Structure 1
Amino acid sequence: MFVRLWLRSFHIYDLLLAIGLITLIVFLCLPFRFASHYEYIEESGIEKALLKQVTRNVSQQEVFECDYSEIIAENRFVYHLAHYHYSVQRGAEIHLGGEFRPEGCQARYSTAIIVPYRNREEQLHAFLTYMHNYLSQQLIHYRIFLVEQIDHKPFNKAMLLNIGAQVAAEYGFPCLILHDVDLLPLNSGQIYACTERPRHMCSALDHWRFHLPYRGLFGGVVAINTVQFQQINGMSNLYHGWGGEDDDLYERLRAKNIDICRFAMEFSQYTMLKHKPEQPNANRVALLRAATLRQPFDGLNSLVYKKVERRLHRLFTLILVVT
């Protein structure tokens, strides 16, 4: 009798274990584990949501304003276009320093695209080629700032973004897009301009099966007004290594009662280029817990670095720094 009961309990345990494993697999594989339900701006509201703001040299142009309604309405899938990846098709129109202004009409938006970078030559080449082909079709005024960390310390993405934001402000750019070098937009209607609220642009990333992992995710590709970035004192300078700085940025916005926004999924689809993972930041959890306490004195107002060189390349403005 004892043996029979033991065998029965063993089978029950086996069954429960199997059910648990199946449940875990379903949880990991199916999209309902993501934050699939979140507020976003529909196509009909996108153009209205974009803030008209340009640098002084653009505002002085005496030509008619560019039209963006057709670009948004069309929203083509363009990542598959081979010529977007092969070479910069309209290179002659890109000014030294990676700056572009449309000809024949006045851009409604001026945007500084800030890319923190170190030792990813293959990705950088893919990024610059694709993004110049992509952005030049949007009829916006933009400039790409590449902020390169040349020391051997752990990579400090947030500090590099702070540096880039300061330099972009010197050039008078009212809108910042904080952009990872390994992320590329798939559809043409994701206008690279700022909205009234800071915007999480890559909420539908292929790495996450085009679903948002959690509602507070605010990294990868982010659009934020220069004034708002200064209002929150930029980003923390203390995140040496991978992880935590994006969540810290989100907490800074919340502390200032600044809400974020997103566009509909079909405008927010991005792909992630393959890359080796960065060295994790062992202190990221502790830093994040004290994010808002450090905000007044950790950020743009405490930025200390050595600027090695600022160089104008054909496709970007390079800022070499030691952190």
Structure 2
Amino acid sequence: MFQNRRTVFLFLCSIAFVQALYYIITLQIKRNQTIINSGLAISYEHSSDITKTSVQNTVALLNPSIQTELSSFANASFIISHNFIKPDPTIYNSYPICNVSFSNHNLSSTNHNLSSYRVTVSKTIYPFDIIEQHQGEDLYPGGHWFPKTCRTEQRLAIIICYRNRELHLKLYLDNIHSFLKQQQLDYTIFVVNQHGQQPFNRAALFNVGFLEAMKLYSFDCFIFHDVDLLPEDLRNVYKCGEKPRHMSVAVDKFNYRLLYSSLFGGVTAFSLSDFTGANGYPTVYWGWGGEDDDMYLRVTRKLKKTITRYPIEIARYKMIRTFNHTSGKANPDRHTILYSKYDYSQDGINTTNYDLHHVVFYKLFTFINVTLPQESFEHIRLRLNIKLKPPKKKVNVVRKKKV
């Protein structure tokens, strides 16, 4: 009798345990779904001249690290799965080519008020939901926009390297969307975040942005952009040419002058063929410095091209220098790598190594979150066959004593 009661008791406990477990799992799923639905609540009106591409990027819904990242940009609307949209060619090809009336020739013209091309840079930091009200009514998911009355000649991806600079990002997004729309561009903004504690690798993040962007849309122009630089002149058109272009020629921090002739940092523009021809950015510069000069050498040595620039009166930028941001530590090995004349085919797009955590389509931008496994200098040196210069011998100078 006692044994039967114990069996019944264990049976009832098992039922209670299963019901409790089911309740916990159901509650967790509902909680995750609530978070997801808050992002999916945005309504995007698609006009009849839009179709969807077949490429889809889906994020695992129940990954805790993903949920953390989704909530990292407070008040920012997002979706986690999206088919990138593009104009329907049957209708879009009948449109006239977008003819933006900005011209470098206006510099010497007395018939134009040059101040009308100057951009008033907003310095007010708004929450993401307010920025969406400013900029997002006609944006498609992921910070994608294209004109509805004319046909663009290029499809532009703006790629930003990023880590812990939310205030800069807010200022950037609130200013850049208005700027690009006035230039009548088919553009998408990508923010590539380096997760983890490894030294920042700006150039590798640019490569990641390129590789992930190409999975989503048929881009043919790429502008690699620091998040703290804002253009000040509408004639600084964000398009690619026959040669790579240095966009941020004149920055207010440097009194609107070019620091040196081979400067190729800040904001740069590459056509698809030029960027792949250069094998992208180097991946071997961990910490501050080296990657911009390396990219300049790739253009001149590997592509056998020169870089172009808009006139200094046009390629003007304001640098956001507030919020106590400090640059990372300088890479002590950057000069050794830079001047080693290593084979650029051995490092770049083809060696970009990263762990992709997720892609989230915020209304204002596409967020790409990755970890970059750090490579030691010794491993880099061996992989690229970089020869170290022997240390200089100390010369002992014997001084004669005065008699």
Q: TM-score, normalised by structure 2?
A: 0.63
Where does residue 312 of structure 2 map in the other structure? 265
Q: Within 5 Å, give how 1:288-299 maps onto structure 2.
A: 288-290=338-340, 292-299=341-348
Question: Which amino acid counterpart does residue 259 of structure 1 have in structure 2?
Answer: T
Structure 1 residue runs without a partner (length 5+): 1-54
CA contact (8 A) 2:224 2:267 kept: yes
CA contact (8 A) 2:102 2:234 kept: no
Q: Measured at CA, do residues 258 and 241 of structure 1 come closer, stay the same or move farther in structure 2, by a change above 3 Å?
A: same
CA distance in 1, matches of 2:85, 2:145: 15
- 1:225 Cα deviation from its structure 2 partner: 0.7
CA contact (8 A) 2:146 2:186 kept: yes
Q: Measured at CA, do residues 320 and 281 of structure 1 come closer, stay the same or move farther in structure 2, by a change above 3 Å?
A: same
CA distance in 2, matches of 1:188, 1:71: 10
Which residue among 259, 263, 267 is the counterpart of 1:221?
Answer: 267
1:66 matched to 2:98? The reply is yes
CA distance in 1, matches of 2:291, 2:102: 36
Where does residue 34 of structure 1 map in the other structure? none
Where does residue 117 of structure 2 map in the other structure? 76
Structure 2 residue runs without a partner (length 5+): 1-83, 107-113, 373-403
Superimposed CA distance per residue, residues 130-182 of structure 1 (whole angstroms, 9 cap, x where no aligned partner): 11111111111000011100110000000000111112222210000000001
RMSD, matched Cα: 2.2
Higher relative contact order (CA 8 A, sep 6+): 1
Where does residue 179 of structure 1 map in the other structure? 225
CA distance in 2, matches of 1:286, 1:63: 52
CA contact (8 A) 1:56 1:172 kept: no
Question: Which amino acid counterpart does residue 307 of structure 1 have in structure 2?
Answer: L
**Which is further off, 173-182 or 272-281?**
272-281
1:193 matched to 2:242? The reply is no
- 1:260 Cα deviation from its structure 2 partner: 0.5
1:149 matched to 2:190? The reply is no
Secondary structure of the residue aligned to 2:222 is: strand
Identity of aligned residues (%): 36
CA distance in 2, matches of 1:322, 1:113: 20
Question: Which amino acid counterpart does residue 272 of structure 1 have in structure 2?
Answer: M
Which residue among 367, 374, 386 is the counterpart of 1:318?
Answer: 367
- 1:56 Cα deviation from its structure 2 partner: 10
Q: Within 5 Å, give how 1:122-133 maps onto structure 2.
A: 122-133=167-178
**Which is further off, 70-79 or 256-265?**
70-79
CA distance in 2, matches of 1:285, 1:259: 22
Report which of the two structures shows the higher radius of gyration computed on alpha carbons.
2
Q: TM-score, normalised by structure 1?
A: 0.78
CA distance in 2, matches of 1:213, 1:317: 33
Q: Within 5 Å, give how 1:72-151 maps onto structure 2.
A: 73=106, 76-80=117-121, 87=131, 89-151=134-196
Number of residue pairs the alignment of both structures matches = 268
CA contact (8 A) 1:203 1:265 kept: yes
CA distance in 2, matches of 1:252, 1:299: 10
